[in-house]
Amino acid sequence: MSASASTGMRRSVVLKRRPAAEPTRADFDIREEAIPTPGPDEVVTRTLWLSIDPYMRGRLREEKSYAAPVAIGEVMTGETVGEVVASNHPGFAAGDIAVGARGWQTHCVTPGDRLVKIEKGAAPLSAYLGVLGMPGATAYAGVTEICKPKAGETFVVSAASGAVGSVAGQLAKRAGARVVGIAGGPDKCLWVQDSLGFDECVDHRSLDLRQELQAACPNGIDCYFENVGGAVQAAVFEQQNAFSRVAMCGMVAQYNEPKPPPGPNLGFVIGKRVLIQGFIVSDRMERFTEWRAMAAPLVADGSLVYREDVIDGLDNAPDALAGILSGRNFGKLLVRVAPEH
Amino acid sequence: MSASASTGMRRSVVLKRRPAAEPTRADFDIREEAIPTPGPDEVVTRTLWLSIDPYMRGRLREEKSYAAPVAIGEVMTGETVGEVVASNHPGFAAGDIAVGARGWQTHCVTPGDRLVKIEKGAAPLSAYLGVLGMPGATAYAGVTEICKPKAGETFVVSAASGAVGSVAGQLAKRAGARVVGIAGGPDKCLWVQDSLGFDECVDHRSLDLRQELQAACPNGIDCYFENVGGAVQAAVFEQQNAFSRVAMCGMVAQYNEPKPPPGPNLGFVIGKRVLIQGFIVSDRMERFTEWRAMAAPLVADGSLVYREDVIDGLDNAPDALAGILSGRNFGKLLVRVAPEH
């Protein structure tokens, strides 16, 4: 990467073909071209960190979901933290750090209005892609607008060691709820309990998920922050209390399926007066900004705990995406595209 | 029935055994005993009309849903309109008409506080079990609190010729929405369009429900008032718009199933930011009263259209329940237990 930078070349990961199941490196091409120069009001950044998130799998499908799919031959979308190397926008100067530049590439040219400048030194730069970025803001929006956990209630979150789940559970804990995480494997469960401070963590690979969940939630489930779908969803839905709330955030367990599998019967929704609300944080950009301001001091003083899983080198981004869909990563998944200095 | 009344006997339908699938007459016993006399603050009514509603199937199951199941040997629950024949409650005198007395029986003794006196002559007495009763209030709550149809939006309601659906669609029409009903068979569809004034009605028995629904909803679906579940639910869910709302009211298509069948995958809920809210009108008794006051004049002047399907004789109530679950009735299903005069 640094070689490209010094030789004035930009390296991009572009979609070669749509993966049928788990994405692989062979579904992408690497393209090299000259580093662009900025047009009017544009900014060129050198990518330092690239965020890898489960939603990206949806962009590889032909069908439009809430955003247009990535076209064949197009650079793969993604949030980045980058250093400004050239700017024709009054808000940015060389050396500034900006988040929001999109794409799996070493350099990005983008209108300055689409970038947010961040204060150097307030928090580690990588945090702006996780706990202080889109995943953290997603957790904040889902917990405060949909789940609304109250003291004494039971709050369950799946993918609890992930970038969204880890923040969601900590926020529910701060609201006074009993917080139960669901995560894959003993290492993640241990971290969720010991480091994040959740009351319990259930391993979704356990032989009797239903029973373990029941033991962890003796008073039933009042809030569910849904990140995975599938068997976990079915087990949680069975144990929901009357007037419980479900923030539907993701269903990573099915993103590699060619066709969505059947879901749980919704009869319980009526009898138990359940609220299920799907949401996407990009509908609420004001919450994003609000969250960044609120959470940065909590990250700085260590009261909001997060964990990162860093993979080096842009070329490894496709493998990283495959890994996040199967839960191989542990913590917020990032690609270090270039060193910070 | 009138014989029982004159000889001082009460006739009740009690649960004999829990039906495995469609309930039949053999699942119930008829019990005869002396007409009770009222205790302190109690009222004895002579049942005129008994309401038959899909939720009653849930009371025959062993599992508790939102209300306790009917016990073996216990009188089957149900809303009634009755005439007061004896009263120890200051609010009621012989000859008064009261709604709310519960149970499949010719006479009911109940605390007066659980009865609502209705003004004779404001509307037909039977209407207090349908358009002015629990089904009408259910439609009102679901449309105004959950679906919130706006002018120009598309509102779909299943079981559109039924007691709840017919009111829900008329309310959405008044709010300016394009209203599409789903009903079983050409007669019901014709009535839904011609008499209720819905914009379209799709026959759920049609060979290509999805395609017909699409043709009837060229701009997609913004609100869904769900009464039936099953294949209809799956077809509607596929065509929902971003930010659409689903009022989950009933799933009559599955009430006779020993186990609830799988439901649609909920992935679409996230991408389309759908709201799904289960509700039961008895959580909102204040809406019930509000609705009765608001709707009685609309029934009286003919601007709220309703249709009744009347079956004579208490002993036929079990057959009536079987019929409503399979859609054999047409309009609000009532059992005439005794003549009004």
The tens digit of pLDDT for each residue in B288-326 reads: 889 999 999 999 999 999 999 999 999 999 999 999 999
Residue B278 and residue A261: Cβ atoms within 8 Å? no
Look at residue B175 in the predicted model and tell me its pLDDT: 98
Q: Where are the domains of chain A?
A: 2-130+307-336, 134-282
Residue B265 and residue A229: Cβ atoms within 8 Å? yes
Q: Nearest CB to A277: which of B58, B275, B278?
A: B275
The mean pLDDT of A285-299, rounded to a whole number, is 91
Residue A273 and residue B274: Cβ atoms within 8 Å? no
Q: Top-level CATH class of A2-130+307-336?
A: alpha beta
Kindly tell me the burial class for residue A121, based on how many C-beta atoms sit within 10 Å of its own C-beta (0-12, 13-18, 19 or more): exposed
Which comes out higher in pLDDT, residue B81 or A122?
B81
Mutate to test the interface with B, among A237, A245, A270 (most CBs of B within 10 A): A270
The mean pLDDT of B131-144, rounded to a whole number, is 96
pLDDT of A279 > 80? The answer is: yes
How far is CA B303 from each of CA A212, B144, B170, B296, rounded to the nearest angstrom?
Answer: 55, 19, 9, 10
Look at residue B1 in the predicted model and tell me its pLDDT: 34
Mutate to test the interface with A, among B57, B164, B248, B249 (most CBs of A within 10 A): B248
Look at residue B285 in the predicted model and tell me its pLDDT: 85
Instruction: Spell out which residues of chain A touch residue B278, defining contact as CB-CB under 8 Å.
Output: 266, 268-275
ipTM of the complex: 0.92
3-state secondary structure of A225: strand
CA distance B97 to chain A (A): 31
Give pLDDT tens digits for A6-59: 568 999 999 999 999 999 999 999 999 999 999 999 999 999 999 999 999 999
What's the CATH number of domain A134-282, 3.90.1200.10, 3.40.50.300, 3.20.20.140, 3.40.50.720?
3.40.50.720
The mean pLDDT of B214-229, rounded to a whole number, is 98
Q: Nearest CB to B271: which of A65, A233, A254?
A: A65
Residue A266 and residue B275: Cβ atoms within 8 Å? no
Residue B280 and residue A273: Cβ atoms within 8 Å? yes
Give dist(CA A81, CA A97) in Å, integer: 7
Give dist(CA B244, CA B237) in Å, integer: 10
Residue B251 and residue A233: Cβ atoms within 8 Å? no
Give dist(CA B10, CA B40) in Å, integer: 20
Look at residue B5 in the predicted model and tell me its pLDDT: 45
pLDDT of B156 > 80? The answer is: yes
A12 alpha carbon, distance to own chain's centre: 21
Mutate to test the interface with A, among B57, B226, B241, B265 (most CBs of A within 10 A): B265
| B2-130+307-336 and B134-282 agree in CATH topology | no
Residue in chain A closest to B267 (alpha carbons) equals A251
B22-59 as b/e: b if 16+ CB within 10 A: ebebebbeeeeeebeebeeebbbbbbbbbbbbbbbbbb
CB A79 within 8 A of CB A102: yes
The mean pLDDT of A263-269, rounded to a whole number, is 95
CA distance B27 to chain A (A): 24
At residue B286 the predicted structure's pLDDT band, cuts being 50, 70 and 90, is: confident
> By percentage, how much of chain A surpasses pLDDT 70?
98
Task: Tokens for B142, please give them.
Answer: 């679901």
pLDDT of A5 > 50? The answer is: no
Instruction: Spell out which residues of chain A touch residue B233, defining contact as CB-CB under 8 Å.
Output: 266
> By percentage, how much of chain A surpasses pLDDT 90?
87
pLDDT of B4 > 70? The answer is: no
CA distance A8 to chain B (A): 39
Q: Of the given ranges (A173-187, A192-206, A263-277, A279-293), which has the lowest mean pLDDT?
A: A279-293
3-state secondary structure of A43: strand
Residue A278 and residue B265: Cβ atoms within 8 Å? no
Residue B273 and residue A251: Cβ atoms within 8 Å? no
Backbone angles phi, psi at A273, to 5 degrees: 50, 50
